[in-house]
Structure 1
Amino acid sequence: MMSRHALFFLLLLLFYVFYLIFGAFVFSALEQPYEDHLRWKVESMWSKFLSDHPCMSEEMLQDFLRKALLVKSFGVSAMRNISGYEIKWDFVSSLFFAGTTLTTIGYGHPFPISVGGKVFCLLYSIIGIPLTLSVLSITARNMLILLRDKPIHSFQLHLSVSKKKLEWLHASVLIVIISFLFFFIPAIVFDAIEGNWGYLDALYFCFISLTTVGLGDYVPGEQSGQKMPALYKLLVTCYLILGLVAVLLVVEMLKSLLNCNHFFGLFVLGCDEMRRDEEADHFLSNDLDGSFVQKHDETTRRRVPHSLSPSAEKNYGSINTSLT
């Protein structure tokens, strides 16, 4: 007979598979017509170029484009504009790559080309990714104490409102502030700096980056001719790290408000047995503490001097009364 947790776990897996299929269907329906349109435009450009340049064969053009696109995938532009050449692996660009790699954003542009770079990236990430996620998580928990627990405790002392309502109100206000500080306002900045981005593109970049998806279709600081590109990439790296802390802060708040631990316990096999064991241990510990306190009180009571006991005071009082 299947247990309740096993049934819930199976339903969860089926729901996730359905969610993947649903997403694939929607993406295919939205993107495939646009892909077909772009392919038709490329074929038209290809045919027009060959007709305008009859001295070039189709094989030569195809070989040239293949090599140019391969170099472009390595982060090196194939354009002959010398002023547009930029070093992709200077210190700041390498710092940007290290930050996006360790935070698992991973735009994929640029990426290590040399064998030594690939080996070092592997070893560097094995240690760096768990370290980065731990640092971000600990920082988010400390920020949760400073920005949620302490203000709510202060509000409780001055307002006659339940703690649960204060938590929901405080979380709503904080989520709105974080949304403006790390999504809507930065999108305005990226829209102004990145010439070929619209506001929706910039907002899309902020969301994809701070959720660590990092598709790589929008990468900041890759346009030629940008002013102070090193400072710009350094500021973007700081923004991504701070934004990830803010996102983890929101996740921790929602987990606390929605009691996700109890909810996820429905899908964990053997969770009831673990909970009963914890309750039994808690009951036994309280029982032992209570018996210890009771024995301690009895021992203390036996050690009280006779002259300090209530009965002694009563007896002394009666003796004094009789003497008078």
Structure 2
Amino acid sequence: MAGSGLFDWRGSWTLSLLLAYLCYLLLGAAIFQLLEKQAEAQSRNQFQMEKLRFLENYTCLDQYALERFVQVIMEAWEKGVNPTGNSTNPSNWDFSNSFFFAGMVVTTIGYGNLSPSTEAGQIFCIFYALFGIPLNVVFLNHLGTGLRSHLATMDTWGHQPRHNQVVQTLGLALFLTVGTFLLLILPPMVFSHVEGWSYGEGFYFAFITLSTIGFGDYVVGTDPDKHYISVYRSLAAVWIILGLAWLALVLPLGPMILHQLMYLWPLNKDPNHRPSPHSTPTKSTIATPSPDKP
């Protein structure tokens, strides 16, 4: 019967988690609809007005010709060709950009603004991802495991001398501070300066990228009016890999920090919660002689 009770408990917990998950999705959908639907309608109306104005100014074109031209532009954009500028724009498939694309494949970010268009490239991308994604996962998990073994002494933090506690706490704080600055605070500044974005847009790009969401609305090194250094996107790919590795190192710290907070929780003051080895045994723990023995 104990197993049945355990099954019922797990089933109720799974159902509760499922309901919470669905409610979270529904809440997000409602908020996104509230925030974005009106702006989308305004953009659509503005685009239609611009098309009508264009046809009025250029009477030699008809509606069909304009629609066909818009379709060509959209197809070019889907293949990674920026329709602005001219044909002298840098190639999307030079080595630096190809290295950036390879990083986006194995990290499963996939911005969606660039993809292989040849059949051979698509087939190679499938096999490259089949082997590259597990390799990336193993690499990041290995780094996380290394940190957990390095910080294994955190489990006995409460039983260590005061000096060791202070040193470990300062080291952990320094690690989190430096990593946050180098991988989350400084890169948006660089991207904002190079790309002409606001800092908020740069931070948004950094978060969406390192969380592997990768909408593709902001991508570095794609403005045809800017002259980037040849290794700019390669450096961005290195930053992404280092950022994901840092996150793999940081995420295991969550349970450790929660454990320390629980240890320091003010309500945890029950003297029987952590019995001292020199404490006097309670009445229930004192052995009493058996009545049938002398």
TM over 0.5: yes
Give the direction of change, closer, same or farther, for the CA distance of 1:145–1:192 in structure 2 (3 Å limit). Answer: farther
Letter paired with 1:31: E
Establish whether residue 189 from structure 1 lines up as the match of residue 194 from structure 2.
no
Query: 1:56-205 alignment to 2 at 5 Å?
Result: 56-79=61-84, 81-83=86-88, 85-146=89-150, 148-149=151-152, 159-160=161-162, 171-195=172-196, 197-205=197-205
CA displacement 1:134-168 (0-9 Å, x = unmatched)? 1111023324555x4579999987x51685x8767
CA displacement 1:186-238 (0-9 Å, x = unmatched)? 1111100002x111010001111111111111111111244444211111011
- 2: distance between equivalents of 1:166 and 1:258? 19
Establish whether residue 216 from structure 1 lines up as the match of residue 221 from structure 2.
no
Letter paired with 2:190: V
Query: 1:270-281 alignment to 2 at 5 Å?
Result: none
| Percent of paired sites with the same residue | 30
Runs of 5+ unmatched residues, structure 1: 260-324
CA displacement 1:91-110 (0-9 Å, x = unmatched)? 11111111111011111221
- 1: distance between equivalents of 2:157 and 2:11? 44
| SS of equivalent residue, structure 2 residue 252 | helix
Aligned with 1:29 (options 30, 34, 38): 34
1:78 deviation in Å?
Answer: 3.0
TM-score (norm 2): 0.78
CA contact (8 A) 1:74 1:111 kept: yes
Establish whether residue 12 from structure 1 lines up as the match of residue 17 from structure 2.
yes
TM-score (norm 1): 0.71
Letter paired with 2:45: W
CA contact (8 A) 1:208 1:214 kept: yes
CA contact (8 A) 1:187 1:203 kept: yes
CA contact (8 A) 2:112 2:216 kept: yes
1:256 deviation in Å?
Answer: 3.3
Give the direction of change, closer, same or farther, for the CA distance of 1:79–1:191 in structure 2 (3 Å limit). Answer: closer
Q: Kindly report the root-mean-square deviation, in angstroms, between the aligned alpha carbons of the 2 structures.
A: 2.7
- The count of corresponding residues between Structure 1 and Structure 2 is 254
Query: 1:253-272 alignment to 2 at 5 Å?
Result: 253-258=253-258
- 2: distance between equivalents of 1:120 and 1:232? 25
Letter paired with 1:18: C
- 2: distance between equivalents of 1:170 and 1:155? 16
1:80 deviation in Å?
Answer: 5.7
Query: 1:294-309 alignment to 2 at 5 Å?
Result: none
- 2: distance between equivalents of 1:122 and 1:229? 30
Give the direction of change, closer, same or farther, for the CA distance of 1:26–1:161 in structure 2 (3 Å limit). Answer: farther
- 1: distance between equivalents of 2:94 and 2:192? 25
CA contact (8 A) 2:111 2:214 kept: yes
Give the direction of change, closer, same or farther, for the CA distance of 1:154–1:226 in structure 2 (3 Å limit). Answer: farther
Letter paired with 2:98: S
Aligned with 2:58 (options 53, 61, 74): 53
- 1: distance between equivalents of 2:60 and 2:54? 11
CA contact (8 A) 2:96 2:230 kept: yes
- 1: distance between equivalents of 2:142 and 2:226? 36
- 2: distance between equivalents of 1:156 and 1:42? 67
Give the direction of change, closer, same or farther, for the CA distance of 1:155–1:89 in structure 2 (3 Å limit). Answer: farther
- 2: distance between equivalents of 1:201 and 1:160? 43
1:123 deviation in Å?
Answer: 1.1
- 1: distance between equivalents of 2:154 and 2:217? 40
CA contact (8 A) 2:82 2:224 kept: no
Give the direction of change, closer, same or farther, for the CA distance of 1:225–1:245 in structure 2 (3 Å limit). Answer: same
- 2: distance between equivalents of 1:155 and 1:255? 15
Q: Which has the larger radius of gyration?
A: 1
1:13 deviation in Å?
Answer: 0.5
Of Structure 1 and Structure 2, the greater helix share is in 1
Give the direction of change, closer, same or farther, for the CA distance of 1:225–1:37 in structure 2 (3 Å limit). Answer: closer
CA contact (8 A) 2:85 2:225 kept: no
- 2: distance between equivalents of 1:198 and 1:241? 24
Give the direction of change, closer, same or farther, for the CA distance of 1:258–1:113 in structure 2 (3 Å limit). Answer: same
